[in-house]
């Protein structure tokens, strides 16, 4: 537990520096994390006899992140994903006998799952979201910076409140066949805690508090689903942690399983819903 706490504190400090710095530092860090999660994904499915295209998939994911650095251009993302999908299936012909159709399908799934999500993480930070800089008691933040904090703090709040509520009050299993540790009481605690946390960020960032509360509620639901998706994948591939890269926390995929879902949700939520204070 001590190792987990120390690593968590160091991780939060590093994340704060990267998020506040933004720019190329943020984009490069996201690209490294995305490719690292892809390596863990490939290693997991290797255990089931698949052979995901490690190098080609990594290049495609890096390309998605590079594109997002210049603003999330949907046409470019579709171009990379379309070309990559066709290439990966063409490899079943070019490398016939060593690269199978199931391996190509697993590769396409992983590239889409990880590449698109981390591209949205970069896009959320760098894009102009249609409102001015956010003035807070802690200083002035760029819009993208405030939204990244909203997505991440909301996700962390969901995990934290669900964990403690489940530990002290949990008695009814949520999805015992997928994640035996999750309880209905934990989910309720996560919903309440995340809604309150994101509403509090609304006050800090001078966003509409009611809209932020709704966003917080949604973040908790989406974060839980993202966590369950990775749990299913880990059960299928027979692993407990995606790697041991982060002491006490597992791997990159383990730490970002919920973020993979919440960041795209927040990105599109703020595209269609006005969060500015009324």
Tell me, yes or no, whether 143 and 262 share the same domain: yes
Question: Are 82 and 201 members of one domain?
Answer: no
Residues 239 and 159 in one domain: yes
pLDDT of residue 70: 83
**pLDDT number for residue 171:** 85
Domain boundary among 127, 156, 174: 127
Domain boundary among 127, 154, 188: 127
Output the tens digit of pLDDT for each of the chain's 278 residues: 667 778 878 888 999 999 999 889 999 999 999 999 999 999 999 999 999 999 999 999 999 999 998 877 788 999 999 999 999 999 999 999 899 999 999 999 999 999 999 999 999 998 776 667 777 766 788 889 999 999 999 999 999 999 999 988 988 999 988 998 899 999 999 999 999 999 999 999 989 999 999 999 999 999 999 999 999 999 999 999 999 898 877 899 999 999 999 999 999 999 999 888 76
| Contacts by residues 125-129 (CB-CB < 8 Å, ≥ 24 positions apart) | 125/19, 125/22, 125/26, 125/27, 126/22, 126/23, 126/26, 126/27, 126/68, 126/69, 126/71, 127/71, 127/72, 129/270, 129/271
Regarding whether 259 and 215 lie in a shared domain, the answer is yes
Are residue 276 and residue 144 in the same domain, yes or no? yes
The predicted pLDDT at position 220 comes to 97
Q: What is the pLDDT of residue 111?
A: 98
Residues 80 and 146 in one domain: no
Same domain, 60 and 176: no
Same domain, 183 and 205: yes
Query: What pLDDT was estimated at residue 8?
Result: 78
Residues 137 and 234 in one domain: yes
pLDDT tens by residue, 233-262: 999 999 999 998 988 778 999 999 999 999
192 lies in the same domain as 137: yes
User: Which residue, of 64, 93, 127, is where some domain finishes?
Assistant: 127
Strands 139-141 and 173-175: unpaired
Evaluated on CA atoms 195, 197, 198, 204, the torsion sign reads positive
Of 250, 251, 248, 198, the C-alpha closest to 223 is: 198
| Statement to judge: residues 152 and 111 lie in one domain | no
Q: Does residue 274 share a domain with residue 137?
A: yes
3-state secondary structure string across the chain: CHHHHHHHHHHHHHHHHHHHHCHHHHHHHHHHHHHHHHHHHHHHHHCCCCCCCHHHHHHHHHHHHHHHHCCCCHHHHHHHHHHHHHHHHHHHHHCCCCCCHHHHHHHHHHHHHHHHHHHHHHHHHHCCCCCCCEEECCEEECHHHHHHHHHHHHHHHHHHHHHHHHHHHCCCEEECCCEEEEEHHHHHHHHHHHHHHHHHHHHHHCECHHHHHHHHHHHHHHHHHHHHHHHHHHHHHCCCCCCCCECCCECHHHHHCCHHHHHHHHHHHHHHCCCECC
103-107 CB contacts, 8 Å cutoff, 24+ apart? 103/50, 103/51, 103/52, 103/53, 104/53, 106/45, 106/50, 106/52, 107/52, 107/53, 107/56, 107/57
Give me the domain span that covers residue 225. 131-278
Distance between CA 124 and CA 267 in Å, rounded? 6
Total count of domains within the chain: 2
What's the pLDDT at 130? 65
Token duo for residue 163: 């964990």
């Amino acid at each position: 537990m001590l190792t987990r706490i120390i690593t968590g504190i160091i991780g939060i400090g590093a994340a704060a520096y990267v998020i506040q710095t933004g720019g190329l530092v943020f984009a490069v860090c996201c690209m490294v994390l995305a490719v690292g999660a892809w390596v863990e994904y490939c290693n997991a499915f290797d255990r089931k006899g698949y052979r995901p295209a490690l190098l080609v998939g990594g290049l495609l994911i890096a390309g998605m992140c590079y594109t997002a650095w210049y603003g999330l251009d949907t046409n470019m993302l579709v171009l990379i994903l379309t070309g990559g999908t066709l290439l990966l299936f063409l490899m079943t012909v070019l490398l016939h006998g060593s690269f199978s159709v199931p391996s190509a399908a697993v590769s396409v799934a992983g590239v889409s799952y990880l590449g698109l999500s981390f591209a949205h993480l970069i896009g959320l930070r760098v894009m102009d979201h249609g409102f001015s800089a956010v003035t807070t008691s802690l200083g002035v933040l760029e819009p993208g910076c405030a939204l990244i904090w909203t997505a991440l703090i909301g996700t962390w709040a969901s995990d934290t409140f669900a964990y403690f509520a489940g530990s002290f009050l949990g008695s009814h299993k949520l999805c015992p066949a997928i994640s035996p540790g999750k309880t209905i009481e934990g989910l309720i605690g996560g919903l309440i805690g995340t809604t309150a946390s994101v509403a509090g960020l609304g006050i800090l960032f001078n966003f509409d508090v009611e809209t932020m509360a709704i966003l917080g509620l949604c973040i908790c639901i989406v974060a839980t689903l993202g966590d369950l998706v990775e749990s299913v994948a880990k059960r299928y591939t027979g692993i407990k942690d995606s790697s041991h890269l982060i002491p006490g926390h597992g791997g990159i995929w383990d730490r970002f399983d919920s973020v993979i879902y919440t960041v795209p949700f927040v990105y599109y939520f703020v595209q269609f819903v006005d969060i500015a204070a009324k």
